[in-house]
Structure 1
């Protein structure tokens, strides 16, 4: 079962790795790999540290269920400060990322 985090907090605290590709990006044991997954209307931040979760979201994106997703790296301490806040509208996500 997927674990979700606060999108805006992940954007604020995380280190962007880049756009997700078929080849999974692995992180250290002290870190968490988070995907900011975008749909047509909203985005979510999901823990993709597990290869099973990464592949499931990548396949869903390839099928068109999601538009795309960017990867972020956060320490376990940082991710503890990013509680799930639910979905974020794309327009709010776009304004949050342009403010960075």
Structure 2
């Protein structure tokens, strides 16, 4: 897990599980549109590659986050799904 700190406060986090599942990416609403998500993604990806990742990642994305993940190169990989009342879309990044 990586954190982005701005003015002594954690304003964003990213977590990747087993070097393949992007399991968490949250940015404080007041800090969106500042390129923070991209910076965290870039750093997390570099660490995973250095630790042997093949660059294939997947994520269960909310509707709101689809454009963010698409900007990282992820593509929709299936239809809308629902689990425990939560709607998500599977997305995958293949180098």
TM-score if structure 2 supplies the norm length? 0.31
TM-score if structure 1 supplies the norm length? 0.30
Greater share of residues in helix: 1
Is the radius of gyration larger for structure 1 or structure 2?
2
Higher relative contact order (CA 8 A, sep 6+): 1
Greater share of residues in strand: 2
